[in-house]
Structure 1
Amino acid sequence: MAKHAEEKKFLEFSRRHVLGLMGSSAAAIGLGLPGRVYADDDEMIRSHGYSFFGDLKYPADYPHFDYVNPNAPKGGQIVLSARGTFDGFNRWAWRGNPQTDASVVAESMFAEMPWGGGAPADSLTDSYNLIAREVEYPKSKRWCVFHMRDDVVFRDGSPLRAQDAAFTHNLFLEQGIRSFARSVSQRIEGVEVIDDHTLKYTFVDGISRRSLISQVGGTPILSEAWYKETGERLDEPSVMSPMGSGPYQVGDYEFNRYVVYERNPNYWGWDHPANVGRFNFDSVRIEYFADATAEFEAFKTGIYTFRSEGSTKRWATGYDFPAIEKGHAVRQEIPNGNAPSNSGMIFNTLRAPLDNRNVRQALSLAFNFEWTKESLQFNLTTQRNSFVENQDWMADGLPEGKELEFFKALGDVVPEEIYTEPAVMPHSSRSSNPIDRRNKRTALKLLEAEGWSVNDEGKMVDADGNQMSLDFLVISSWDDTRKAMIETYNNTLRDWGIEVNDNAVDAAQGQQRFLDKDYDMINTRILSFSTVGTGLKQLFGAETAEVSSYNPSALRSPMVDAIVDAALEANSREEEITALTALDRALRYERVIAHAGYVPAYWVAYYDMLERPEKLPPYAVGVLDFWWMNQDKYEALKASGALR
């Protein structure tokens, strides 16, 4: 689905932080070059990259990632769109409304897709050195050392040193997003600058080694001198762009209208094998629009040139405009190998009565997927059953075999229903009416058992006569289909006698309320998961539930916490899959979301001067990463009047 500005803020760190913590790029025994053996007989490993299970896909002398076009032409400008507003370029500020791509200016020890996603895009488990020349660590993974390149410079031309990496690490601890800082401080004992290009991280004893090296290897590196000279803070909004070493930098901009990211003239890494065939556009321009209608009209007239479509209505009915009919623009469905993010109606479990699982189950029954699919989504969506839809670790039926053993080892935190009831599946509804009377009767019985009943005035009240009242957070710039789905759901709740406030707010207010968890319900996403790592604690853990923006339900479940802790001790991919299956089962049991449907493909439309590799990697479309512009086609489209 489309990632518009206010949505991306809801998941404010890139993959280098959360998916790094989740173990998307973690350690493996036997990688790289077995080195010297220390006195404690802990075998040393030095490598060009880092992977958890099995060998790295790419050898030390790899020329480029398999899916890129190493001869892709450089040049041109790609224009994208965003909805909402922005007021600065400090992507890591806790307040304000920063431009959502502003972290593209920074890099880390390991290569990333700076516009979002992991590099390489054909592996869930591999990371490859970028600023680091080699990564060294003992087999026990008690610590790691990054041997850094000596030719990396910030965009102002100043050298990037180990001191900058250590400074940035401490900056995130002191001024970073609270849940991330807490997670890091509990896992990393310290950072030591050995010399200008050698940095050592030591990890806390007695914890899982999972995802520690990938976490520090994925932290962006910013200039210590720049922060000291400017007096800037990581936790404060700013119109200044932090000093990084990335391939792009902020160029021209006008707040709330557009921003242009242009090539960094001092970029050091164009010939690095992790960068070959990538970063092909001279500039990336992002146009801002107040609403979905204005945004789509602008694409039809060529004001911007690439679009990720998130509306089933527009996909079904909107792409019959002249640019498509004349072949100036194309639309495509591109397979998506990732488990879809878990979108739907999410309950904030910090707030009564949504802290009651049975109440959440009852309110879930108000969502009519079948009616929504037929009436609002043109039958283009598929019912989501799981937090990891279509993956091998999707729970099914009753727990058996290794999964059953896993649950039994957790002890009393596992409710009896986990053993006696099949994995929770979504309810079915009649599509003829948004209010399904069968589900209403079931829901009212569940609510009555929890002390809620409908009085003579038709209001859902507790034993003291207080009406159930829910605050549903809605952002004014969300598209019409999404708003209609929310309104339909809320009208069903009103039919049950529940008062619902769903007055829309602007993006800035919505962002702050989201971070503060100032809502009862919200229609947003929960990330999926494919590997085990400590990032699962930010997604689902009780410890950071109140402050983590990755946990919009603020889930605090002893069972889920125990599953994550046990998963971190997995010693093989087989054990990891068992733990992830148990996690999916437990999350579905907690009923923190009424799952909406999903589309099992990327929907994209773009003007025909944009080109891409014939075979895309499974985990990313990569339009800003490894697509390119055909200049001759651009000139022809410009001459025809198809582009503004």
Structure 2
Amino acid sequence: MTNRQLQALAKTRTQPNGRMKWMGAGLLLVAATLTSVTAARGQDVTISHGYSNFGELKYGPDFPHLDYVNPNAPKGGEVSTWALGNFDSFNQYARDGVPAALNTIGSESVLTSTADDPYGVYCFMCTTLEYPEDLSFVTFNLRKDVTFSDGTPMTAEDIAFSFNLFLEQGISEYRRIVEGFIDKVEVINPYRIKFSFNEAASKRDRVTFAGGTVAFSKAWFEENDIRLDKSSDRPFLSTGAYVLDSFDYNRQVIYARNPEYWGNDIPFNKGRNNFDRIRIEYFADRSAAFEAFKSGEYLLKSETDPKDWATGYNFPAVLSGDVKQESISDGDVGEALSFVFNLDREKWQDPKVREAVSLLFNFEWSNKALFFGLYERPKSFWPNSELAAQGAPTPEEIALLQPLVDEGLLAESILTDEVAMPFVHDDSKNRPSRKVLRRASKLLDEAGWEVGGDGVRRKDGEALTLNVIQFNPLYDRIVNPFIDNLKAIGIQADLERVDTAQYVERRRKGDFDLANQRISMNSEPSIGLGAWFSSKTADSSSRNLMRLRDPAVDALIPKVIAADTLDELRTSVHAMDRVLRSIGFAIPQWYKKDNWVAYFDVFRHPEELPPLAVGIYDFWWYDAEAAERLKASGALR
């Protein structure tokens, strides 16, 4: 399990113990829970406990606890899991180093969201927020009881410091998207802070952009001479429920619940943060990790291998009921796992060459032969959601696309054609049909890559080579058949497996032809699209790994950002999805609608889980009596 999968397993959209996210939000006024007060600039200022995206907030100001938690869940015990690879840092935000799993679990932000309200954001470390109708500013009235894990108080100075730290030292893809959004940040008093926005700032993102600020200790950063853009041998001093307990580089990380955590008794945290310890064991090999799980070295496994899920869970502890298997549905936007081309390399800038390569990945055979039919192929960058484009464009989509066609940025066919779909292969064998091979060969011929007497395709004397980088040996059985197909039409393809640190660095530098990218969108896309697809981020981005620079995409991103209603958002995202799919910079691999979790029968969760989170480290709990029973029976040591 990768670090990202660990983060995703625990996610609750923007959970109080989660990391800073792109918090795009459609910011509409909420009727029932808001109070108007004296005007600023001639406008009424609204005070609220939260902000609703395209509708009313699910939770009022005096709710007792989140609907999906067990407010009486016991505290105690340990949850243990695994991660693949290695780590040498605890800083998620730097380009240097490989961060440890769950390294931001102790971080909290001013606002939070829930796993059952897709558009709402709420005061978490504030009591109320204030804003005028034009959203020219937002003021947060901070709680006075928030402390960092060392017991020192958190104040507005810390929030201002943290906000400016991301603007000054944050990764370039973040700074290039948000630079210039803020006119000024004012610390009005120790518990009141005001963010003033300029006209360039997206209105749908203003409140959540400011409120998504992670709270770091200004004094701690300055005393220890810490930088956000450098690797760190410890997590940053923050306010969250968990702190680093111990670690052994590349082998183990343990986080412990802070008994003095400031937020133990607030309504947002009832029934949450239940484990005393969270332990992650690192493995260099998936097989070794699975054997360790079987033996009880760790007790919970998020499964990502369909072969193991379909055939591997027949060991005695499963058969006796001591280990449970659960498929937990995911109502969030699916992650479109894909191979992406490095478009900075000239050979991949030709759409015909990209299409030829894409034709030779046989998902249907892979799904049947390797995945036991458990995966689906992502056809959209917003799979499993109403934001995925379908069929031919609607009149509303055409209204957005027509000007781009008129400017010569898009082919006229995009106004009438069905949305681009991955080619569907025969699933009986990996080798594509002769018809497909002829089609791929013709595309390469037209692009000038001709087959020589040695069977190798060349253009201007240069052989057509393709290098796929991977760090996970699980991919060997998937990539090698793909490579065989590429070689069949004269492409000199190879799989290069590297260690985790090299993999991270080569992706950052663009030293690859094809690499994996987990393209992860949300239900209300906004400024975060720039980090994924804007020309501004193509030179250096962990998201725009493909180095996409497309003027039509650049023109559509502001249309999505400017959407004021859900209908406008859907239309603009459909148009965006349609254009992205037409470019063909990604070869869709697969995704699954369910989360696969296996665990020894010592953990419990609410009977009805929320649609947007699994929440293992958030609102599951440890059953001490069940653990004693398993120990007494010999199932656990």
CA contact (8 A) 1:155 1:265 kept: no
Where do 1:557-572 residues align within 5 Å?
557-572=550-565
Q: Note the C-alpha offset of 1:531.
A: 1.1
Q: Note the C-alpha offset of 1:43.
A: 2.6
Q: SS at the partner of 1:313?
A: helix
Partner residue of 2:264 out of 266, 270, 279: 270
Where do 1:317-328 residues align within 5 Å?
317-328=311-322
Partner residue of 2:417 out of 411, 416, 421: 421
CA contact (8 A) 2:527 2:561 kept: yes
Q: SS at the partner of 2:161?
A: helix
Q: What per-residue deviation string (whole Å, max 9, x for no partner) do you get for residues 339-372 of structure 1?
A: 2211122112122211222221111001001111
Partner of 1:245: 239
Distance 1:22 1:152 in 2: 22
Partner residue of 2:584 out of 571, 585, 591: 591
Q: SS at the partner of 2:288?
A: helix
Partner of 1:5: 3
Aligned-partner residue type, residue 5 of structure 1: N
Q: Note the C-alpha offset of 1:19.
A: 8.7
Partner residue of 2:439 out of 438, 442, 446: 442
Q: Note the C-alpha offset of 1:248.
A: 0.2
Distance 1:319 1:98 in 2: 30
CA contact (8 A) 1:20 1:215 kept: no
- Percentage identity across aligned positions? 39
User: Is residue 535 of structure 2 the alignment partner of residue 542 of structure 1?
Assistant: yes
Partner of 2:341: 347
Aligned-partner residue type, residue 495 of structure 1: A
Q: TM-score, normalization: structure 1?
A: 0.94
Distance 1:389 1:620 in 2: 17
Where do 1:77-92 residues align within 5 Å?
77-92=78-93
Partner of 2:274: 280
Where do 1:284-363 residues align within 5 Å?
284-363=278-357
Q: Note the C-alpha offset of 1:472.
A: 1.3
CA contact (8 A) 2:13 2:115 kept: no
CA contact (8 A) 1:156 1:266 kept: no
Distance 1:53 1:91 in 2: 31
Aligned-partner residue type, residue 633 of structure 1: A
Partner of 2:191: 197
Aligned-partner residue type, residue 417 of structure 2: E
Q: What per-residue deviation string (whole Å, max 9, x for no partner) do you get for residues 395-435 of structure 1?
A: 12211222222322545233212113210011111223322
Q: SS at the partner of 1:331?
A: strand
Q: SS at the partner of 1:169?
A: helix
Q: Which runs of 4+ in 1 moved over 6 A?
A: 6-11
User: Is residue 456 of structure 2 the alignment partner of residue 459 of structure 1?
Assistant: yes
Distance 1:357 1:19 in 2: 36
Partner of 1:382: 376
CA contact (8 A) 1:34 1:43 kept: no
Partner residue of 1:525 out of 518, 521, 533: 518
CA contact (8 A) 1:102 1:241 kept: yes
Q: Note the C-alpha offset of 1:474.
A: 0.9
Distance 1:9 1:504 in 2: 24
Aligned-partner residue type, residue 80 of structure 2: V
CA contact (8 A) 1:20 1:211 kept: no
Where do 1:606-625 residues align within 5 Å?
606-625=599-618
Aligned-partner residue type, residue 29 of structure 1: L
Partner residue of 1:181 out of 165, 169, 175: 175
Q: Note the C-alpha offset of 1:81.
A: 0.6
Where do 1:114-193 residues align within 5 Å?
119-193=113-187
Q: SS at the partner of 1:382?
A: coil
Point out where structure 1 has 5 or more consecutive residues left out of the alignment.
112-118
Q: What per-residue deviation string (whole Å, max 9, x for no partner) do you get for residues 109-151 of structure 1?
A: 013xxxxxxx311122111111111111111111111110011
Q: SS at the partner of 1:87?
A: coil
Aligned-partner residue type, residue 29 of structure 2: I
Q: SS at the partner of 1:294?
A: helix
Alpha carbons of 1:14 and 1:89: their partners in 2 closer, same or farther (altered >3 Å)? farther
Q: Note the C-alpha offset of 1:36.
A: 2.1
Q: Note the C-alpha offset of 1:193.
A: 1.0
Q: Note the C-alpha offset of 1:20.
A: 4.8
Partner of 2:468: 472
CA contact (8 A) 1:334 1:603 kept: yes
CA contact (8 A) 1:146 1:198 kept: yes
Distance 1:311 1:281 in 2: 27
CA contact (8 A) 1:21 1:211 kept: no
Q: Note the C-alpha offset of 1:14.
A: 11
Alpha carbons of 1:543 and 1:14: their partners in 2 closer, same or farther (altered >3 Å)? farther
CA contact (8 A) 2:28 2:54 kept: yes
Alpha carbons of 1:264 and 1:39: their partners in 2 closer, same or farther (altered >3 Å)? closer
User: Is residue 477 of structure 2 the alignment partner of residue 490 of structure 1?
Assistant: no
Q: SS at the partner of 1:38?
A: strand
Distance 2:128 2:85 in 1: 42
Distance 1:7 1:247 in 2: 21
Q: What per-residue deviation string (whole Å, max 9, x for no partner) do you get for residues 175-200 of structure 1?
A: 21111122232322221111111111
Distance 2:561 2:293 in 1: 46
Aligned-partner residue type, residue 634 of structure 2: G
Q: SS at the partner of 1:102?
A: coil
CA contact (8 A) 2:180 2:201 kept: no
Partner of 1:114: none
Q: Note the C-alpha offset of 1:10.
A: 12
Distance 2:280 2:61 in 1: 36
Aligned-partner residue type, residue 643 of structure 1: L
CA contact (8 A) 2:20 2:109 kept: no
Q: Note the C-alpha offset of 1:153.
A: 0.5
Q: Which moved more, 1:523-532 or 1:614-623?
A: 523-532
Aligned-partner residue type, residue 57 of structure 1: K
CA contact (8 A) 1:349 1:554 kept: yes
Partner of 1:372: 366
Q: SS at the partner of 1:274?
A: helix
Distance 2:54 2:602 in 1: 40
Alpha carbons of 1:371 and 1:160: their partners in 2 closer, same or farther (altered >3 Å)? same
Q: Note the C-alpha offset of 1:35.
A: 1.9
Partner of 2:30: 30
CA contact (8 A) 2:86 2:249 kept: yes
Q: SS at the partner of 2:378?
A: coil
Alpha carbons of 1:95 and 1:231: their partners in 2 closer, same or farther (altered >3 Å)? same
Please provide the CA RMSD for this pair.
Answer: 2.1
Q: Note the C-alpha offset of 1:311.
A: 0.5
Partner of 1:116: none
Q: What per-residue deviation string (whole Å, max 9, x for no partner) do you get for residues 520-556 of structure 1?
A: 1112311133213111111111111222211222222
Partner of 2:568: 575
Q: Note the C-alpha offset of 1:94.
A: 1.7
Q: Note the C-alpha offset of 1:154.
A: 0.5
Distance 2:73 2:469 in 1: 44
Q: Note the C-alpha offset of 1:479.
A: 4.5
Partner residue of 1:216 out of 206, 210, 214: 210
Where do 1:21-100 residues align within 5 Å?
21=22, 23=24, 25-30=25-30, 32-38=33-39, 40-100=41-101
Q: Note the C-alpha offset of 1:265.
A: 2.9
